[in-house]
């Protein structure tokens, strides 16, 4: 499912227009992104948790030249599904 399919699903199941569903889906995504940018976790009961994970700086290799390079630390979004979601898949 991609974003436009999600918007169509929200519009169909909630009985709102696609424009309203687009605004709602974008608002949810923006809320999650803003919370993660501020360093906060997002906990959605029955769905899962979004958090920010810090990947430490490390050494790597350039595959083309074989030269050693320094890879800087960076923040990465992380998602852990809830037990309910995991159980519903199995």
* pLDDT confidence of residue 51: 96
* pLDDT confidence of residue 76: 95
Domain ranges of the chain: 1-40, 51-90
* pLDDT confidence of residue 6: 96
* pLDDT confidence of residue 46: 92
Within 10 A of 77 (CB to CB), how many other CB atoms are there?
Answer: 13
Residues 23-51: tens digit of each pLDDT: 999 999 999 999 999 999 999 999 999 99
Residues 1-20: tens digit of each pLDDT: 999 999 999 999 999 999 99
CB 80 within 8 A of CB 49: yes
* pLDDT confidence of residue 4: 95
């Amino acid at each position: 499912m991609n974003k436009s399919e999600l918007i169509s699903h929200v519009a169909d199941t909630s009985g709102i227009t696609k424009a309203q569903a687009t605004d709602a889906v974008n608002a949810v995504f923006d809320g999650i992104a803003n919370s993660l940018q501020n360093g906060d976790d997002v906990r959605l009961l029955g769905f899962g948790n979004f958090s920010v994970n810090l990947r430490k700086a490390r050494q790597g290799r350039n595959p083309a030249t074989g030269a050693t390079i320094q890879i800087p630390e960076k923040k990465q979004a992380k998602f852990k599904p809830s037990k309910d979601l995991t159980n519903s898949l199995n």
